[in-house]
A and B are shown apart, each in its own frame.
Chain A
Amino acid sequence: MTAKNSTNTAAFTIDAVTGLQKLIAILAAQGYQVIGPLMEDGAIIYGELESAADLPVGMRDEQDGGKYRLVKGREGVYFDYVVGPHSWKRYLFPPEQKICQIRRQGKAFRIVEEPEKTPRYAFIGARSCELKAMQIHDRVFDNGTFADPGYKARREAAFIVAVNCTRAGGTCFCSSMGTGPKADGGFDIALTEIAEKNRHVFLVEAGSTKGQIVISKLSASEASETDREKAGELVSLAAAGMGREMADDVGPLLKRNLDHRQWDEVAKRCLSCANCTLVCPTCFCNTVEDVTDLTGANAERWRKWDSCFTMDFSYIHGGSVRRETASRYRQWMTHKLSTWFEQFETSGCVGCGRCITWCPVGIDITQEARAIRNSEGRR
């Protein structure tokens, strides 16, 4: 990981319109594939940016359980929305990854060596919760015993421009998870948008040497004390504006309530559609597929996203271990909020709220946790 914790206190400001455009141009010139938020099919997703004009300027999202809608936000503002159905895991841990190609040679086979082609991504607009999610995946794909070289290479090569949220999204709860809204590390550059009547700037902070170098190429002025304070206030407002919070001590809470009837309650609503696992930035379950071509001489091994909500996820001879929706939902939620601590020493949840927004029936894990807490002991 190249982006270090931001310990330097230097901050700059750039003009929002020209500065952001220049930033994107510099990154593109350095050979990065610039990825950022785009508006498509009524949602804000991540895709390739050619210029700052591609960003969903002036758009805002309204999110709630099972609800997502784009509306007009503050005019000219670049980041008036929060997170959409995509997360950066689409790029660092792609939905389909070719692990290797294997060629048959008579009775033997050998792995075909292919030249490394690691994509170099520049992410524009990564939120604090998303940075935390990346750090969580860092521990998954290098667990101390085994490491995935593909993930590490993509991660190492990535340039991250974070954006500090100045508005809490409808389903956000990063404050109670301790994962935001202020980005406290894991980025190369962090931006905070200050949009006023006559003035539109970004406060710019470096999080790494790479970031510092890029900032020096922007026409950046040193940030005034006023601007620093303003930026801080905006982020604090966002922190205070969260409409949800996760129950305290949820890890042990869920661990001692594996037989709670709430699991059957949520199972009545859950469709086992796996949306939550697809949109969640930390879900990492995947499957390995071995396929062969028609000649039978070439085989490929692929890694593909999978979900613990599918019926055959837990299949062992004769049947699935988790046959009921209740046990599959319990697996997802207790892994995310409880057993993740045992495995990776952090929570698996970053409070981004995506699972709440994109659940077709609006199941809210903060509510489910609260329901268990409130009725603990009363089975």
Chain B
Amino acid sequence: MVQEIGLDQLIREHPFFEGMDEEALTLISGCAANERFDAGQYIFREGQPADKFYMVRHGSVALEVRAPGRDSIVLQTCDDGDVMGWSWLVPPFRWKWDARATQLSRLVSFDGICLRGKLDADPALGYAMYKRFVRVIAERLSYARLQMLDLYGVEHE
């Protein structure tokens, strides 16, 4: 794993990791790597093992569903600063959707296999990560529900 200068700082400054202690941050940094995806490239695909989670530095990633004979349906896009991917925390640890870069995107990826083991071993660290991921999931659920409401559609009796 290649560690670039600046990644460490990025992690420490990102609101998602705010409040975590020094030891945790070092550990997490150790599991991080920069990744780059060209427009149209897939970050992960439905059904594949979910071994990482991501943070979008710059760009845009569409979470999509494929269906035969029709265009893919975009559920939502993750943009600058968004944390992406929580299937690495929930059994059976497989991606539920496709993730495709809609433009040239730079992401930070975090090694999920390595981290999963560490979270089980260290409950305090586990709690800190789960607490943060619960917020991400809650927010996603909230947004998904608002999207479901079809707010701009014509109301029917």
Contacts and interface: CB of A to CB of B under 8 A. Distances in A.
| Touch between chains A and B, by CB atoms below 8 Å | yes
Interface of A: 317-319
Contacts of A318: 154-157
Contacts of B156: 318
Nearest to B156: A318
Nearest to A319: B157
Contacts of B154: 317-318
8 contacts: A317-B154, A317-B155, A318-B154, A318-B155, A318-B156, A318-B157, A319-B155, A319-B157
A169 B76 CA distance: 68
Q: Is the interface of B mostly helix, strand, loop or mixed?
A: loop
Interface in B123-157: 154-157
Contacts of B157: 318-319
B157 to A, nearest CB: 6
B149 to A, nearest CB: 12
Interface of B: 154-157
A319 B157 CA distance: 6
Contacts of A319: 155, 157
B150 to A, nearest CB: 12
A318 B156 CA distance: 5
Contacts of B155: 317-319
A311 to B, nearest CB: 12
Given A318-B155, A318-B156, 6 more contacts: A317-B154, A317-B155, A318-B154, A318-B157, A319-B155, A319-B157
A57 B136 CA distance: 80
B91 to A, nearest CB: 42
Contacts of A317: 154-155
B137 to A, nearest CB: 31
A312 to B, nearest CB: 12
A28 B156 CA distance: 57
B153 to A, nearest CB: 10
A319 B154 CA distance: 12
Please list the 6 inter-chain residue pairs (A to B) with the smallest Cβ-Cβ separation, ordered nearest first: A318-B155, A317-B155, A319-B157, A318-B157, A318-B156, A319-B155
A156 B80 CA distance: 69
A108 to B, nearest CB: 32
B152 to A, nearest CB: 12
A317 B157 CA distance: 9
A319 B156 CA distance: 8
B155 to A, nearest CB: 3
A139 to B, nearest CB: 36
A94 to B, nearest CB: 34
A325 B99 CA distance: 50
Nearest to B154: A317
A82 B118 CA distance: 87
A234 B16 CA distance: 80
A318 B157 CA distance: 5
B5 to A, nearest CB: 57
A318 B149 CA distance: 14
A319 B155 CA distance: 8
Nearest to A316: B155
A277 B156 CA distance: 30
B107 to A, nearest CB: 42
B156 to A, nearest CB: 7
A88 to B, nearest CB: 40
Nearest to A317: B155
B144 to A, nearest CB: 22
A82 B157 CA distance: 46
A321 to B, nearest CB: 12
A120 to B, nearest CB: 48
